[in-house]
Each structure stands twice: as C-alpha cells, then as structure tokens.
C-alpha cells in the first residue's frame, strides 16, 4: 500500500464489529497505508464528508485492545442502501470525488447484506469508470444470516451471551413456587433467521435443564398448540422456560406480536415494532392457564454484551478485518471476506475471499433438518455447529469496577 | 457446636445468596456441626418437611466455589410471612417438632425483611417455650433496603451489572442516527427504593456520558415535566438514555405503568404487574415527540447475573453467612448479622450482630440529599457509597463456553 485506506461500519452493531475495525487498522498500517480514515455512520456519513483519522483515536496497542472490548460501532453505523447506478449517478460521483480527495486506495466496509450490496455497487462503478480504488467487504452480523460464510463475526458473542443469560434465567425461574406454576418467555433477536434463538439451547448441560421449548422464525407458529404444550409441561414441572424469536409468524404470515390489539406496539411512524412478542404470549398463557408468567426481552443487550464476548468471535472478527485489507492490497475488488470452517474437531477456521455479487441479498436461514420434528427445539447438529464459536473469554479491562471502552466523543448535534 | 444446623433462603434471589449459603455451610462444619440441613423453599418447605443434607451437594471445595458462582437460590426460596404466635400456635408447634426431630442447634435464615420477621417470631417462640435452638438472620436483597446494615449482600453485584449494562446500552444507542433522535428507557428493579436505579450512574466516566436522567421511586414522577426534559435534550443530542425504577409513581400515588389502558399489564389474578413502566413511557414519548424509542427491562437478569458478579459482594455474602453461624454458636438468638462500613478510603467493612426486633419491616430508602435538586440524577455521595461495593470480579468457571453452576436436580412436581 502507498496511499490511504478508508473503513466504515454499517447495519446493526455487534460486540465484535470494533474488533474488525481494529484488524483493518492494524493490517493497513502494517502494509504501508499512510492514513486510515474512518467514515462516521457509514456511507451516509461519508456523503456528508464526516470522517475521522483513526490515528487520532487508536494511538497505542492498549487503545486497540480496548477497541476490541468496546461494543456498538465505534465509527457509528447507518442503514442506507445505495441506489442503482443508473438511477442516481450523482451520488456515485460525489462518493468518488471524496475518495479522490482523500487519496483512497482501499475502501473497506464492515457490515451485513446491505453493506455487501454497497461494496458491489461501488466496485461496479469503479469498473465502469476505470477507477483504481479497491472495494472489499468485511462480514458482520449477530443474526448469522450472511450467505457463503460459515458464520459471521458478532454471532458467536451474541450466542454466548444468550446461552449464559438463558441459564441464569432458568435457575432464577425455579426459585419461587407458584400455585399454578411459572411460565417464562424469553424473546431473542432474529427477524427471519433462528440462529440466535437456537443458541438458547447452549444453556443445556449437566448442570442445567435448558429451555423447554425453542421457537425459530423459519417455522410457522401455532399459538394454540403452543398453549397446549405449555399446559402439558406445567402438569409435570413447576417452571417452564420458552425461548422465542422476535420474528415468529402465524401460518397466515402475521407476526405474533401483531395479534395483540394493544396500540403500544406501533411507533410514531406507524411502523410495526417487533417488540412485544414475549409480552403478548405471556399474556395469552396467563389468560389461558391462569399461571404466573414473565416476559423477558434480551433487547440490545444481546448485541452489545462485550463484557461477556466470545474469544473465538473477537479473534475471528479481527482476522477478517485484516484479511479484507490484505485482499484489497493484493488487487481484489468487489469481494467479501468469508470464514471457512476447515475442521470441527479440533475447530479450525480460516478466511477466504468471495465475489460479492454472489452474496448480497441472500439470507442464510437455519436448515429444517437442524430443528426437531415438532419444531420446538434445535438438534445436536445445530449445537455442534455453534459450540466452537462461543469458546474462550475476553476479559474486560476493569476500571473502578466497570469495563473500560475506547471512547469517541459524540458530536452533539442540533436538530 | 455439637448437633445440627439448618439453613434456609427466603425472598427474591440474588447473585450472592448462594455465597452466603456456602459461608454458613463452611463455618458450621468448621465449628463442629454434625449435619447441615438446607430447607427447600424456606420455611414454607420446612413445614412440609422438605429439606436436604447439604453434605450430599457440597462435597468438595470446588463445589463450594461453584456454589458461590451460582445464581438464584440453591435451596429454592419462598415469600411466606409467619402468622403472629397468638394467631396460630400450631404452625410454631409443627416447626419446632421438626427442629427437634432434626436435632437443630442453630437455625439460619438468609433473606430480606420478611425473613428477619421470621427469625424474630421463631426466636420469640423459643424464649416463650424455653427452647434452646438459636435463630439468626443473614441479610440478603438486591434492593439494599434493609435497615441497620450499611448495605445488603446481593446489591453490589446487581449494581455492577446495571452499571455495565447501562454503559453497553448507551454505546449502542449512539450507533444509528434517527431523523428525530432516539430515546431509550431502561427499567430497573426497586419498587420503593432507588438504590438499584441510582446505580445506573456507575456507567458514567471518562469513557461514557452516563444516562441523561435517572428517576428514583422515592420521588413523585411528573410525566409532563419528563417529556419536556427529554424534548430539550433531544434538541442537543441524537440519543437520550433514561434510567427509571419500576416503581415510579405520580403525585397522586399511582404507579406510572398503571396509567396505560392496556390490559397487557394485569396478570390472571388481577394483580397489577409492575412491568411495563418503560414500555408505557417509551410509547408516551414516541407519541409526544415523534422520535424513535426503545424500552429495555433488565428484568430478572439484574438479579441473576453471576457471570458479572462483584467480588466484594460475593466475599461479604460469604462472610455474613459464616458470621451468622458464629453468632448462633456463641449463644446469640433473635439477631441479624449486619455489615458495618469501617472506612471509605480504603474501603473496609466488617460484620456485627444486631437485635432483629429493631430491623424487621423497616425500609431503608435513598436519602433525599443523595438525589439532585430536580430529582433527575444521583449525587456524588451516592456514587461514592456504591462504588466500593462493585469492585473486583468473580471469574466464572467456564465449561464448553458457558459458566458452570452447582446444580440441584429440581423435583418434578405434579400439580
């Protein structure tokens, strides 16, 4: 490398997205990049010429270690899909003029499906216009739904958090005895893909029963059958714990949380918020069975729990960041780094580079054969798949009793 | 000690309640107790003669260490208030006949206010009837509302978890930019006392802004003023994070969550569940200001997060368990162990024994002078008070990527 690199983060944050950023920075510097810029709030921020020089923030190796232990997107993120090139050339001309001004040799984008779409479009435009900048994508998402990669950075830590929290929730649920029993419904992220919800099964072991039922969004949800199963379980045990995806839908395709008539679950723009699935089901069960219920939404905690991150996840996220820069430096463009599982036992994983045209917009769902026949639990194959991804810890750097993060003062913006 | 000890756990579970149990067991054995029994589900279970021999479960020192890292109540818990002696002598006769059968020399009860009431009544009955068994209470609650003790075991770990999670929530809240901003409302436990909610301030430091507003239940909540404050903040920053207690009430004394007309928040018995305060306020703000909102309930996670427990808390919980046995062995009865802060800098704390008649039913609330004038944040005195209680970590024993607990198979009960 001779000139500069620019990197951005896009889509929902994870506990590993900053580890990828640290990997990009390290490898870019090692390979001779003069400056490494970070676009603030992804491509949307870049269009407004909002960026920082990462050398002003990652000043020492300790800073890099803190960055790996910092949740959420250090550079800020965005949900922004570029228009098709023929629809709006001006946007592309603007982006490329900024890249020229900053002398960008390599553009690295850390994100999910929409981000790979951005890489695709920008690299296509570079080809059309004969522009030398290389565009490489770095995978990221807690949902684990990116095609062509064995798994995505961010998933392992979220899965570890879910397994750990489910275990604590289950232990807590057996403390007090209720006349008609207790049913706890735990709502987990994953609108379409059940990779996260299935991770609830990680709580099961020699020292924990695990959840009683797990409902993934890939299969249609029958609320009546659900009620019957819960009733049957309550006949045998004082506490029943159920893990559900926020995105479970009825046979007719309606989100379960939309079945409630409460206006509490529609936001000011009329957007249906998927929150409230657990609350709705808890209320349904309480009404049907007369038992005590509890609804727990893991919410953003499951994607920002750096204090409980998986070492395998953080290391792999760092590696894919570096691999993206390496690929760009070696001339690759319009590519995404993927993780390739080389073996299971022992677990070994390497990176590869794939054509981003093959990936974008293709969602990887949990295969039907990794869910049991009744659709109420995941199989041992699922658990074996995810188990290696949650191994090892990343001890937080504690300051005064609370984990330390790498901090970038937020612009206070007047609206 | 020459004969046997029995110990029970009562009230809501914490991340430290099992450390107290481990302390009781160790000291009882060291002081010569033959058997140490554990009543299952507190005094309620004892009345049904449900108990175990702890030697069958705490077989090694490793088991004791795992017990300290196990959340929820290992023996199970109950919410059961004994009747007055003159109201129902039979209950007392039954309990004491069981104690005689098991040759109980000391009865230790780990719990909050109701549990100290149990100790009071049983020790009074022993005095009336000239019975030799000694009754000593061991404090416990995440709410920190027990009188006469500087703080309660369980509080430090919950406070540490809340500070850690708030920090992660705040970082996450700045990732994506929304047109009209984002308001996140985090609901924290503590129906009457704001000790836990105030702990949200622990997230503030060199590397984090901390929450913008903190609303404790000790002060009446004005929803209109709240909306105005949030609106003003949104004019200056893209994300506003608010910590509220589940128990905040209006000037008229009505719980804020009851202001919603949704039937979702009443359980099958007509009991008003205090859940939903954050959801209600998020909905209110979305309606008033048109911004995006998010409601996060820390729920039972805040009381069962052993994976993130405070070392000071776990150690002190262990010490008070042992101190309770020591007191009983030395002839004390009708007493409770309390924690006494000997100095702040350096932090030093010891145990003392107090007359349980002075403690029971007296709730310790956050002093008004530890909250700012507007009632929207806690003072430095509050933070200095809680800071030493969250120091140090208790590394989980990881097995296959998930923390290991000490497990007692649950009786599968037919209802």
> What pLDDT score does A415 carry?
47
Q: What is the pLDDT of residues B244-256, one digit of tens each?
A: 999 999 999 999 9
Q: How far apart are CA B158 and CA B141, in angstroms?
A: 10
Segment A29-63, tens digit of pLDDT: 999 999 999 999 999 999 999 999 999 999 999 99
Per-residue pLDDT of A244-280, as tens digits, reads 999 999 999 999 988 875 444 444 444 455 568 999 9
Name the one residue in this structure whose structure tokens are 């703000």. Answer: B285
Contact B123, B107 (CB under 8 A): no
Contacts of B74 (CB under 8 A, 6+ apart): B9, B17, B18, B21, B38, B57, B67, B406, B408
Asked if A128 contacts A85 with a C-beta cutoff of 8 angstroms, the reply is: yes
A189 marked as part of a ligand binding site: yes
Q: How confident is the model at residue B360 (pLDDT cuts 50, 70, 90)?
A: low
Residue A270: the pLDDT is: 46
Residue B57 zone, left/alpha/beta (φ > 0; ψ -120 to 50; rest): alpha
Tell me which chain A residues have a C-beta less than 8 angstroms from the C-beta of B155. none
Share of chain A above pLDDT 90, in %: 88
Is the pLDDT at B271 greater than 60? The verdict is: no
pLDDT confidence band for B50 (50 / 70 / 90): very high
Inter-chain contact B209–A304, Cβ cutoff 8 Å?
no
Indicate whether B180 pLDDT > 80: yes
A246 is in an annotated binding site: yes
Q: Which of A36-40, A276-280, A380-384, B338-342 has the lowest mean pLDDT?
A: A276-280
Q: pLDDT confidence of A169, banded at 50, 70, 90?
A: very high
Q: Which residues pair with A230 in a beta bridge?
A: none
Q: Give the residue among A155, A16, A63, A26 at the shortest CA–CA distance from A404.
A: A63
Per-residue pLDDT of A70-121, as tens digits, reads 999 999 999 999 999 999 999 999 999 999 999 999 999 999 988 899 999 9
For each of the domains in chain A, give its residue range(s) and CATH number, in order of start. 4-154+306-362+395-403 (3.40.50.450), 158-303 (3.40.50.460)
Partner-chain residue, chosen from B77, B181, B269, that has the shortest CB–CB distance to A176: B77
Peptide bond before residue A346 is cis, with ω within 30 degrees of 0? yes
Percent of chain A at pLDDT exceeding 70: 95
What percent of chain B stands above pLDDT 90? 89
Residue A343's CB is within 10 A of a number of other CB atoms, namely: 9
- Give pLDDT, residue A273: 54
- Residues B402 and A388 sit within 8 Å (Cβ to Cβ): no
Tens of pLDDT along A152-161? 999 999 999 9
- Preferred mutation among A68, A171, A181 to probe B, highest tally of B CBs within 10 A: A171
SS (H, E, C) chain A: CCCEEEEEECCCCCCCHHHHHHHHHHHHHHCCCCCEEEECCHHHHHHCCCEEEHHHCCCCHHHHHHHHCCCCCCCCCCCCCCCCCCCCHHHHHHHHHHHHHCCEEEEEEEECHHHHHHHHHHHHHHHHHCCCCEEEEEECCCCCCECCCCCCCCHHHHHHHHHHHHHHHHHHHCCCCCCCCEEEEEEECCCCCCHHHHHHHHHCECCECCCCEEECCCCCCCHHHHHHHHHHHHCCCCEEEEEEECCCECCCCCEHHHHCCCHHHECCCCCECCCCHHHHHHHHHHHHHCCEEEEEECCCHHHHCHHHCEHHHHHHHHHHHHHHHHHHHCCCCCEEEEEEEEECCCCEEEEEEEEHHHCCCCECCCCHHHECCCCCCECHHHHHHHHHHHCCECCCCEECCEECCCCCCCCCCCC
Test A297 with B297 for CB contact under 8 angstroms. yes
Given a contact cutoff of 8 angstroms between Cβ atoms, the answer to whether B242 and B211 are in contact is yes
B306 pLDDT more than 80: yes
Look over chain B and give the mean of its residue pLDDT values, rounded to a whole number: 93
Residue in this structure with the two tokens 């792999």, named with its chain if needed? A316
Q: Give A69→chain B minimum CA distance, Å.
A: 11
pLDDT band at A208 (very low <50, low <70, confident <90, very high): very high
Q: Identify the band that residue B70 occupies on the pLDDT scale cut at 50, 70 and 90.
A: very high
Condensed to tens digits (0 to 9), the pLDDT of residues A210-252 reads 999 999 999 999 999 999 999 999 999 999 999 999 999 999 9
Average pLDDT over residues B186-215: 97
Strands of the sheet containing B134-139, edge to edge, are B51-53, B36-39, B4-9, B104-111, B134-139, B335-343, B348-355
Q: Say whether pLDDT at A135 is over 60.
A: yes
In chain B, residues with a C-beta closer than 8 Å to the C-beta of A296 are 297, 299-301
End-to-end CA distance of chain B: 40
What is the average pLDDT value for chain A, to the nearest integer? 93
User: What integer pLDDT is reported at residue A259 of this predicted model?
Assistant: 83
Whole-model pTM? 0.95
ipTM of the complex: 0.94
**Contact (Cβ atoms closer than 8 angstroms) between residue B170 and residue B211:** yes
pLDDT at B275: 67
Q: Which of B269, B279, B387 sits opposite A401 (nearest CB)?
A: B387
Mean pLDDT of the region B144-164: 96
**Which residue among the candidates A114, A124, A143, A332 is catalytic per the annotation?**
A143
CA distance B136 to chain A (A): 22
Given a cut of 90, whether residue B412 has pLDDT beyond it is: no
Q: Is A267 a catalytic residue?
A: no
The predicted model gives B371-379 an average pLDDT of 98
Nearest chain B Cα distance for residue A338, angstroms? 23
The mean pLDDT value for B186-199 works out to: 96
**What are the pLDDT digits (tens) for A293-322?**
999 999 999 999 999 999 999 999 999 999
Q: Which residue has the tokens 């409230």?
A: A276
Q: What is the reported pLDDT for B38?
A: 98
Query: Three-class SS string for chain B?
Result: CCCEEEEEECCCCCCCHHHHHHHHHHHHHHCCCCCEEEECCHHHHHHCCCEEEHHHCCCCHHHHHHHHCCCCCCCCCCCCCCCCCCCCHHHHHHHHHHHHHCCEEEEEEEECHHHHHHHHHHHHHHHHHCCCCEEEEEECCCCCCECCCCCCCCHHHHHHHHHHHHHHHHHHHCCCCCCCCEEEEEEECCCCCCHHHHHHHHHCECCECCCCEEECCCCCCCHHHHHHHHHHHHCCCCEEEEEEECCCECCCCCEHHHHCCCHHHECCCCCECCCCHHHHHHHHHHHHHCCEEEEEECCCHHHHCHHHCEHHHHHHHHHHHHHHHHHHHCCCCCEEEEEEEEECCCCEEEEEEEEHHHCCCCECCCCHHHECCCCCCECHHHHHHHHHHHCCECCCCEECCEECCCCCCCCCCCC
CA end-to-end span of chain A? 40
Residue A232: the pLDDT is 97
Q: What is the pLDDT of residue A269?
A: 43
Residue A112 annotated as binding site: no
pLDDT band at A207 (very low <50, low <70, confident <90, very high): very high
* Tens digits of residue pLDDT in B107-138: 999 999 888 999 999 999 999 999 999 999 99
Half-sphere exposure of residue B115: CA atoms within 13 angstroms, side-chain side: 26
Contact flag B163-A401 (C-beta cutoff 8 Å):
yes
């Amino acid at each position: 490398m001779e000139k500069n690199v620019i990197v951005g983060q896009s889509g929902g944050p994870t506990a590993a997205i900053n580890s990828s950023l640290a990997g990009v920075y390290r490898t870019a510097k090692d390979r001779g990049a003069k400056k490494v810029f970070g676009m603030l709030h992804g491509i949307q921020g870049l269009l407004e010429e909002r960026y920082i020089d990462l050398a002003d923030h990652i000043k020492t190796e300790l800073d890099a270690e803190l960055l790996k232990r910092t949740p959420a997107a250090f550079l800020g993120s965005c949900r922004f899909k570029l228009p098709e090139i023929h629809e709006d050339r001006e946007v592309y001309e603007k982006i490329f003029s900024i890249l020229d001004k900053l002398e960008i040799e390599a553009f690295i984008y850390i994100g999910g499906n929409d981000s790979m779409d951005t890489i695709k479009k920008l690299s296509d435009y570079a080809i059309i216009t004969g522009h030398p900048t290389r565009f490489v994508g770095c995978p990221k998402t807690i949902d684990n739904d990116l095609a062509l990669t064995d798994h995505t950075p961010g998933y392992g830590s979220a899965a570890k958090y879910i397994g750990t929290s489910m275990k604590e929730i289950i232990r807590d649920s057996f403390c007090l005895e209720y006349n008609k029993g207790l049913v706890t419904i735990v709502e987990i992220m994953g609108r379409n893909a059940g990779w996260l919800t299935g991770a609830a099964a990680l709580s099961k072991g020699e020292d924990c029963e695990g959840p009683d039922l797990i409902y993934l969004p890939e299969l249609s949800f029958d609320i009546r059958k659900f009620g019957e199963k819960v009733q049957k379980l309550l006949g045998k045990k004082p506490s029943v714990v159920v893990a559900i995806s926020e995105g479970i839908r009825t046979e007719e395709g309606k989100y379960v949380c939309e079945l409630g008539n409460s206006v509490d679950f529609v936001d000011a723009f009329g957007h249906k918020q998927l929150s409230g699935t657990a609350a709705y089901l808890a209320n349904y069960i309480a009404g049907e069975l007369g038992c005590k219920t509890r609804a727990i939404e893991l919410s953003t905690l499951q994607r920002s729990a750096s204090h409980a991150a998986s070492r395998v996840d953080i290391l792999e996220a760092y590696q894919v960041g570096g691999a993206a820069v390496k690929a760009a430096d070696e001339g690759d463009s319009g590519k995404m780094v993927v993780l390739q599982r080389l073996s299971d036992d022992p677990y070994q994983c390497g990176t590869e580079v794939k054509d981003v045209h093959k990936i974008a917009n293709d969602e990887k769902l949990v295969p039907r054969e990794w869910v049991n026949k009744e659709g109420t639990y995941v199989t041992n194959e699922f658990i074996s798949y995810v188990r290696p991804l949650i191994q090892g810890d990343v001890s937080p750097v504690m300051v005064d009793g609370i984990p330390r993060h790498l901090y970038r003062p937020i612009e206070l913006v007047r609206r």
